[in-house]
Amino acid sequence: MNRKPATSFRDLIVWQKAHALVLDIYRFSDLFPKTELYGLTSQLRRAGVSIPANIAEGFKKKSKPDKARFMNIAQGSLEECRYYFILSQDLGYGNTEQLLINTDEVGKLLDTYTQSILSSVS
C-alpha cells in the first residue's frame, strides 16, 4: 500500500495512536484516588502527553538524527507509562491490560517510524 507523504504530524498513524493512548490515560487516571492527584495521576499524564508531543516536535525537525532523537524521547516516555500502568494495576487502581496492548502497538509503530526516518534517502 502506497501512502502519500505526511504533511502534518496529524497525518502520522503513530501520532494518531499515541494521541488516542493519551485520551485513554486521562480517562483511566480519572478513576485514581484523589490522594494521587499530584503523584501518580500527574506523572502518568505528563509521561503520556510527552509521547505524541515529541512525535509532533520531531516531525518538523530537519535532520534525520534530530527527528530520530525526538522519537527516542517519545519511546522513553512510552516505557515510563508502561511502568505506571504496572504500578496502577498492582495498587488496585484498575485493569491496565488494554492500555498495555495499546502501549505495545504505539511502541511498534514508533520503532518502525524511527527506522524509516533513519533509512530514508532524503
pTM value is: 0.93
**22-77 confidence digits (pLDDT tens):** 999 999 999 999 999 999 999 999 999 999 999 999 999 999 999 999 999 999 99
Domains parsed from the chain with CATH numbers = 10-119 (1.20.1440.60)
Any idea what DSSP says for residue 30? T
- SS3 of residue 39 by DSSP: coil
Which grid cell is 9?
A: 504530524
